[in-house]
Structure 1
Amino acid sequence: MKAPFVDIHTHNPSRSSHISVVSAFLGDDVADAEGPFSVGVHPWHSDTPIAELERRFAPYLDRAVAIGEVGLDRAISIPIEQQAALLAAQLDIAQKHQLPVVVHCVRAYSDLLPIIKRYKEVAYILHGFYANPKQLADLLPYRTYFSMGIRELQRPNGTAIVRSIPAHRLFLETDDGPASIAEVYDAAAKAIGTDITKLRELLYRSYTNLFK
């Protein structure tokens, strides 16, 4: 029996046989969620008060498999210091409850790295990953995983990046795009030069190890 496709980060709930980690926003109703989900406050919403954060997370924490998506984004007008404070507050919750985090990072890897160093025990899934070789090398010593979607794979350096990520640290995603997870796997398998069945088995093993 083939291993299922794992869609590590998506905003498109699926009732298929694939494993899809659906990204929910803090405050969303997940009562009817049938599969795994993450929950967090996106950096675009960094005006969210920190004081009541853990209380607001509490109803989700018995079912959520991860915190996220959270992170830093230098393409928006919210001060990076404000974003970093919210991120740290959510990492405190992730660390306390031993949950991995799904990270949104745009033009802010130099800001993110010192925070990761402070929270070394947390496992990070950097979604939509697209960075230069030095940034990847700087992140690899920590509990980091790197997820790519069709957009990243089709960008100019997408093939080089996916080949540079250690196989056991790679995930794939659909995010909010129209491509199916099968299409993403097909593109990644071709870029890496591997069989799609082997890729499914590898990423499923990584998933079960991370979310055990």
Structure 2
Amino acid sequence: MLKESWFDSHCHLDMPAFDAVRAARWSAAQARGVAGALIPGLEPAQWLRAQACAASLGTGSYWSIGLHPWWIAKQPTTLTPQLLAEALSAHYSSAGCVAIGECGLDGAIELPLAQQVPWLESQLAFAQDKALPVILHQHRAHNQLLEVLNRYPGVIGVVHGFSGSLAMAEEYIRRGLLLGIGGVVTYPRASKTRATVQALPAESFLLETDAPSMPVYGRQGADNRPEYLGEIAQAVAQLRGESLAQLATRMRANGQRLFGI
């Protein structure tokens, strides 16, 4: 059990994988110092589930609305990027909604990047108009994502699941983005990510589990859990030569600054 208080900045506790064990998983997380979580939006049909999940976790938990690139092809043909913006408009002011996303670009799925871009731009434009942070997914599309972000210089947010080099990190930081650091940092062989985390400015990152994905070291092959956020925190603190108390204080400040919570 950790005595510090932690915020899981990216946790999919609303997913069906947690249906039978959600309360137990969250109780275990709280017992280990996780005081709150952000449940990301994946597609319009899921937003109300994310809202209900965040509400069930209690004070200190929040949700977001967005269309993840993996879910674009699953949308009805009647949905367009313009109509997505209208859907966002109907939900963004709901209680506990603090961001737009998870949205972004993925170069490893069948849908071409050129077809993903209009959906991302719709969400970035909305976030810029409403002064909301974004939660960004990026996989094998770093340069393409930077090109799109350059067209929306006022947008701030977090690049979820970051595992890149320091040079890549600096590209995002210069654009006002934070980096979501998750289970990858716990793997001894993840030398690039670990070196990056060592060198990051203290105000430039958040901690996340991405549960049930991105398992921490030693738990490969099993669903990830929000209770393992402390293991990520311990790895980060050790790499940076900080105490857990120092890290927890900075992570709370970074989350509050980005999400206004």
With normalisation by structure 2, the TM-score equals 0.75
Aligned residues: 211
CA spacing shift, 1:3–1:65, aligned 2, 3 Å: farther
Tell me, yes or no, if structure 1 residue 170 matches structure 2 residue 171. Answer: no
Report the counterpart of residue 113 of structure 1 in structure 2.
146
Tell me, yes or no, if structure 1 residue 22 matches structure 2 residue 39. Answer: yes
Stretches of 4+ aligned residues off by more than 4 angstroms: none
Aligned residue for 1:159, secondary structure, equals: helix
With normalisation by structure 1, the TM-score equals 0.91
Q: After TM superposition, give the deviation of residue 38 of structure 1 in Å.
A: 1.3
Q: Are the counterparts in 1 of residues 164 and 193 from structure 2 also a CA contact under 8 Å?
A: no
Tell me, yes or no, if structure 1 residue 197 matches structure 2 residue 245. Answer: yes
Q: After TM superposition, give the deviation of residue 147 of structure 1 in Å.
A: 0.8
The 1-side partners of 2:64 and 2:112 are apart by: 25
Report the counterpart of residue 133 of structure 1 in structure 2.
166
The 1-side partners of 2:68 and 2:251 are apart by: 25
Q: How does 1:1-212 map to 2 (within 5 A)?
A: 4-12=5-13, 14=26, 16=30, 18-25=35-42, 26-28=44-46, 29-30=48-49, 32=52, 33-34=54-55, 35-47=61-73, 48=75, 49-62=80-93, 63=95, 64-154=97-187, 155-176=190-211, 177=213, 178-179=224-225, 180-212=228-260
More displaced 10-residue stretch of structure 1: 12-21 or 193-202: 12-21
Q: Which amino acid aligns with 1:117?
A: N
More displaced 10-residue stretch of structure 1: 100-109 or 33-42: 33-42
Q: After TM superposition, give the deviation of residue 151 of structure 1 in Å.
A: 2.3
Q: After TM superposition, give the deviation of residue 59 of structure 1 in Å.
A: 3.3
Aligned residue for 2:82, secondary structure, equals: coil
Aligned residue for 2:135, secondary structure, equals: strand
Higher share in strand:
1
Higher share in helix:
2
Greater Rg over alpha carbons, structure:
2
Q: Are the counterparts in 1 of residues 165 and 193 from structure 2 also a CA contact under 8 Å?
A: no
CA RMSD, 1 decimal: 1.8
**Percent identity (aligned):** 28
CA spacing shift, 1:122–1:3, aligned 2, 3 Å: farther
The 2-side partners of 1:122 and 1:4 are apart by: 28
Q: Are the counterparts in 1 of residues 82 and 122 from structure 2 also a CA contact under 8 Å?
A: no
Q: After TM superposition, give the deviation of residue 193 of structure 1 in Å.
A: 1.6
Deviations 1:149-189 (A, max 9, x none): 11244223221011122110110101023142112111111
Q: After TM superposition, give the deviation of residue 6 of structure 1 in Å.
A: 1.4
Which sections of structure 2, spanning at least 5 residues, go unmatched? 15-25, 56-60, 214-223
Deviations 1:55-104 (A, max 9, x none): 22233211310111100111111110111111001111111111100111
